[in-house]
Amino acid sequence: MSDRRDFMGMALGAFTGLGALGALYAAKRTWDPLPSVKAAGFTKLDLKNYKEGELVTEVWRGKPIFVMKMKKDMLEKAKKREDSTAKGHKDIERLIKAGDGYYMVCVGLCTHLGCIPGYRPETEDFLCACHGGQYTETADVKKAPPPRGLDIPPFKLEGTVITLGEEGPEYKKMLADGITLPV
Ligand code: FES
């Protein structure tokens, strides 16, 4: 009889132990950050996957990031225009050159009061509906009140892949030249 009780006790103990382990495992899964959260500091984008003239909104550290490959006519316009924030820079210097293309990669938050501007394909520019601010296709400021173009997030370029959140030489040069402010 006592053997049977011992056996029942052991079985119950094992069962309870397993239950506790299961609960611990479930709790750990709940506490562990999701893979997307773990990698939240950095976002890798392969620019060769983007189509000319199509605005795509990505996310980096919870912020919207506008990415668009420039069309030929956009590039021509940008080559002629001066950058509004820097002394004598061409607007095209706000773009990232990767592979065979030029890309606009910017934080999609208005530099006036932080609304999200909308892209207008028909006029190839951005309108911020909050106070009527406008940006060019390279996201430089076109009409006040925004004080400057959309900020460029820190990036590191390797081939056509950019890692947002890392500071490569191309980004450091943009900062040094006053083309963007640190984000
Ligand atoms: S927040 Fe964009 S114009 Fe004011």
Distance 157 CA to ligand 1 centre (A): 30
Distance 81 CA to ligand 1 centre (A): 22
pLDDT, tens digit (0-9, with 9 covering 90-100), for 65-107: 999 999 999 999 888 888 776 667 788 999 999 999 999 999 9
The confidence score (pLDDT) of residue 139 equals: 96
> What atom of ligand 1 comes closest to residue 117's alpha carbon?
2
Predicted structure pTM score: 0.78
The CA distance from 60 to 123, in Å, is: 27
Q: What percent of the chain has pLDDT over 90?
A: 68
The confidence score (pLDDT) of residue 29 equals: 47
| pLDDT surpasses 50 at 31 | no
Protein residue whose Cα sits closest to atom 4 of ligand 1: 131
The residue ranking higher by pLDDT, 97 or 40, is: 97
> What atom of ligand 1 comes closest to residue 113's alpha carbon?
1
**Mean pLDDT value of segment 36-64:** 88
The confidence score (pLDDT) of residue 80 equals: 85
Buried/exposed 23-50: b ≥16 CB within 10 Å, e otherwise: eeeeeeeeeeeeeeeeeeeebebebeeb
| pLDDT surpasses 80 at 40 | no
